[in-house]
């Protein structure tokens, strides 16, 4: 229960951040959405990793070469010390509720991956073609998107000790609990753009992309009752976690790449430094030979680069460590859908056809109600930003409906 003092503090944060969110285009003014800050207290069991510290662009190149020289599955061997952190972060979130949605009491909590913030799920360019949020709302579902720590308008903590997937799983767990106990709905009702009467969400679906999928996967592995269903995009099996070469990502020290945009980021924060590197990791211009679907528009790449966000130098390694230490979700009984771009470079070096064994996939979710894979034709790692993204949206939303959601 919020005290009057804490409520006033939160309302002050909400007011300032809601105005800022509108200014930078986190959501469209006509959308049935509202944005606010959530204070999220967590306790996480993290690590001190042996990595190259990054304080300039030369360090960033040294870090990338060093990481690629090591075999990534051996990253857990770089743990120097186990630590426990106790923190409270400010998390910027956007709740959207369809005004006449038949499934409005089913909430999708979407966690974005590396290189983006929550705008990945709701691009301002041609939302009819590229917005997962709009597609979900049109299908009747409510959505909650948020900026992961270190990204967008959320807290920018220590890149070495805090910015680890173990931390981010706890952030997602607490956010989910705050949905179930009504805190998120209360904050939305008190925001600058209230959505009307509060709503009770009786089903929660976790949707992830790339790092966000690893975080969502780890959530159901560690806390199987937290979710009713999951959709994991840009992720398939543990042996394929971040197969793309780090050096191909063109990372730079974030404050050196753009001193104004990344003024609040410090040592250990890196960012994809140029549009060519962004294209390499997230886009494919190849076309599926059967369907003639594929490619992307220049404006989609320009948009993606304009909203680029930093990562930490330990984030990828901590994700690998987390998945390898929890190779299955042994008690999760809900349905699981995995979505891959046909030409995803980061997950399967640019050709995902036949690169995974369905038995291996199913073994990761041994008691799940359903495990299915959708291969989106003519698409790279950044699925919503490609041509014909709506076909992928429809495949996932139809799958949800087939599972009773």
Q: Is the residue at 60 inside a domain? A: no
Q: Is the residue at 34 inside a domain? A: yes
| Whether pTM exceeds 0.85 | yes
User: Which pLDDT does position 349 carry in this prediction?
Assistant: 86
Tally of CB atoms within 10 A around 205:
27
CATH code where residue 102 lies: 3.40.50.1820
Q: Is the residue at 17 inside a domain? A: yes
Confirm if 117 and 94 have CB atoms less than 8 A apart.
Answer: no
Alpha helices, H only, 148-226: 165-180, 183-189, 211-222
Confirm if 166 and 44 have CB atoms less than 8 A apart.
Answer: yes
Q: For 50-180, where are the E strands, in sequence order?
A: 79-96, 103-111, 141-146
What is the SS3 assignment for 362-374? HHCCCCCCCEEEE
- The whole domain housing 198 covers 4-53+76-241+314-402
Low-confidence stretches of the chain (pLDDT < 50) are: 1-30
The Cα–Cα gap between 180 and 239 comes to: 33
Q: Is the residue at 118 inside a domain? A: yes
Tokens of 279: 């294209």
* Tens-place pLDDT, residues 314-354: 998 888 888 888 999 999 999 999 999 999 998 988 899 98
Q: Is the residue at 213 inside a domain? A: yes
Tokens of 245: 């070469």
As for how many domains the chain has, the answer is 1
The Cα–Cα gap between 349 and 360 comes to: 19
- The structure tokens 């990344």 sit at 262
User: Which pLDDT does position 240 carry in this prediction?
Assistant: 60
Confirm if 376 and 287 have CB atoms less than 8 A apart.
Answer: no
DSSP string, 265-313: --TTEEEE-SHHHHHHHH----B-TTT--B---HHHHHHHHHT---EET
The Cα–Cα gap between 350 and 347 comes to: 8
Q: Is 29 helix (H, G, I), strand (E, B) or coil?
A: coil
Q: Is the residue at 370 inside a domain? A: yes
* Tens-place pLDDT, residues 177-208: 999 999 999 999 988 887 766 789 999 999 99
User: Which pLDDT does position 111 carry in this prediction?
Assistant: 98
Q: Is the residue at 302 inside a domain? A: no
Q: Which residues contact 337 (CB under 8 A, 6 or more apart)?
A: 229, 230, 231, 232, 370, 372, 373, 374, 396, 399, 400
Q: Is the residue at 196 inside a domain? A: yes
Confirm if 233 and 210 have CB atoms less than 8 A apart.
Answer: yes
User: Which pLDDT does position 76 carry in this prediction?
Assistant: 76
């Amino acid at each position: 229960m919020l005290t009057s003092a804490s409520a006033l503090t939160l309302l002050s944060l909400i007011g300032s951040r809601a105005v800022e969110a509108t200014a930078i285009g986190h959501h469209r003014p006509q959308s049935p959405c509202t944005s606010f800050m959530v204070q999220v207290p967590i306790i996480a069991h993290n690590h001190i990793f042996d990595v190259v510290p990054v304080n300039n662009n030369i360090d960033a190149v040294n870090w990338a070469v060093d990481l690629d020289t090591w075999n990534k599955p051996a990253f857990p061997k770089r743990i120097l010390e186990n630590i426990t952190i106790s923190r409270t972060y400010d998390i910027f979130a956007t709740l959207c509720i369809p005004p006449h949605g038949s499934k409005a009491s089913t909430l999708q909590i979407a966690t974005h991956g590396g290189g983006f913030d929550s705008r990945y799920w709701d691009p301002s360019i041609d939302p009819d073609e590229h917005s997962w949020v709009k597609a979900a709302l049109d299908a009747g579902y409510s959505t909650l998107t948020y900026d992961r720590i270190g990204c967008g308008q959320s807290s920018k903590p220590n890149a070495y000790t805090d910015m680890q997937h173990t931390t981010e799983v706890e952030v997602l767990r607490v956010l989910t609990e705050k949905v179930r106990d009504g805190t998120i709905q209360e904050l939305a009702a008190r925001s600058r753009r209230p959505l009307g009467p509060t709503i009770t969400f009786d089903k929660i679906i976790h949707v992830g992309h790339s790092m966000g999928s690893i975080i969502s996967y780890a959530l159901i592995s560690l806390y199987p009752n937290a979710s009713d269903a999951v959709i994991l995009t840009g992720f398939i099996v543990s042996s394929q976690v971040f197969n793309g070469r780090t050096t191909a990502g063109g990372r730079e020290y974030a404050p050196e790449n753009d001193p104004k945009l990344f003024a609040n980021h410090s040592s250990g924060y890196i960012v994809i430094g140029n549009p060519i590197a962004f294209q390499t990791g997230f886009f494919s211009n190849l076309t599926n030979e059967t369907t003639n679907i594929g490619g992307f528009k220049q404006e989609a790449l320009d948009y993606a680069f304009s909203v680029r966000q930093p990562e930490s130098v330990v984030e990828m390694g901590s994700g690998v460590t987390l998945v390898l230490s929890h190779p299955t979700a042994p008690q999760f009984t809900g349905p699981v859908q995995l979505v891959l771009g046909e030409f995803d470079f980061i997950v399967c070096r640019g050709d995902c056809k036949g690169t995974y064994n369905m038995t291996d996939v199913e073994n990761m979710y041994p008691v799940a109600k359903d495990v299915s894979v959708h291969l989106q034709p003519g698409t790279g790692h950044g699925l919503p930003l490609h041509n014909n993204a709506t076909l992928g949206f429809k495949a996932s939303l139809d799958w949800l409906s087939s599972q009773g959601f």
